[in-house]
C-alpha cells in the first residue's frame, strides 16, 4: 500500500503543477498530486483558481492565476474537444488552453481521482465533456 499523505498544501500542488508544460504531461501531474493526498479538485476557467479536496473534508484553495477571462454563454463541445486534443498533444501552454476553454464556453472542470475522470462543465453546470485520465 502506498504511503499517502492526509493533508497537503497549495504550495506542494503548485510545485508539481509547474513541471507541467502541456496537456501531454497532465497524467504525471495527477499521479504526483494523488501521492500528496488530493482526492479531487475543481478549477475555474475565469481565473484558474482551484479548490482541492482531500480525505475527511480536508480542502485548500489556490489564488487566481491570471486576470479574469470572459466565459462564452453557450458552450461549443466540438470546438472545445478539438482545442483539448491540441493541448494534450503539447500544442499550447496552460493559459492558452484556458483561453480556448473560455471561448468555447467551458466554465470549470472537475478531476475525480477515484474515477480517474476529468469532467468539463459549462456555466449552467452541464457536462461538456467527460474523459478518462490515462494512468
pLDDT of residue 1: 43
Q: How far is CA 51 from the centre of its chain?
A: 10
What's the number of domains the chain is made of? 1
**81 within a domain of the structure (yes/no):** yes
Alpha-carbon distance of 113 to 29, in angstroms, equals 12
By percentage, how much of the chain surpasses pLDDT 90? 77
Which residues contact residue 77 at a Cβ distance below 8 angstroms, ignoring those fewer than 6 apart? 104, 128, 129
Considering only the C-alpha atoms of the chain, give the largest distance between any 2 of them, rounded to a whole number of Å.
45
Alpha-carbon distance of 87 to 107, in angstroms, equals 17
Predicted confidence (pLDDT) per residue in 6-19, tens digit: 689 999 999 998 88
**4 within a domain of the structure (yes/no):** no
**3 within a domain of the structure (yes/no):** no
pLDDT of residue 93: 84
| Residue with the three cell numbers 486534443 | 85
**58 within a domain of the structure (yes/no):** yes
Q: 55: domain CATH number?
A: 3.30.1810.10
Domain that holds residue 120: 10-132
Interval 85-93 mean pLDDT? 87
Predicted confidence (pLDDT) per residue in 27-71, tens digit: 889 999 999 999 999 999 999 999 999 999 999 999 999 999 999
pLDDT of residue 105: 98
Interval 115-130 mean pLDDT? 97
Helices 94-103 and 77-88, axial angle in degrees (round to 10): 170
**Contact predicate 105/128, CB 8 Å:** yes
Amino acid at each position: 500500500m502506498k504511503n499517502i499523505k492526509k493533508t497537503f498544501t497549495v504550495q506542494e500542488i503548485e510545485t508539481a503543477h509547474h513541471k507541467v508544460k502541456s496537456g501531454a504531461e497532465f497524467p504525471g501531474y495527477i499521479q504526483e498530486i494523488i501521492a500528496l493526498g488530493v482526492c479531487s479538485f475543481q478549477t475555474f476557467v475565469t481565473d484558474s483558481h482551484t479548490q482541492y479536496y482531500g480525505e475527511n473534508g480536508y480542502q485548500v484553495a489556490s489564488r487566481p492565476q491570471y486576470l479574469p477571462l470572459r466565459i462564452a454563454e453557450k458552450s461549443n463541445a466540438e470546438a472545445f474537444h478539438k482545442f483539448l486534443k491540441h493541448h494534450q498533444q503539447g500544442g499550447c501552454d496552460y493559459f492558452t488552453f484556458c483561453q480556448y476553454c473560455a471561448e468555447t464556453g467551458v466554465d470549470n472542470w472537475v478531476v475525480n481521482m477515484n474515477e480517474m475522470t476529468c469532467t468539463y462543465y459549462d456555466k449552467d453546470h452541464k457536462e461538456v465533456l467527460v474523459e478518462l485520465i490515462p494512468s
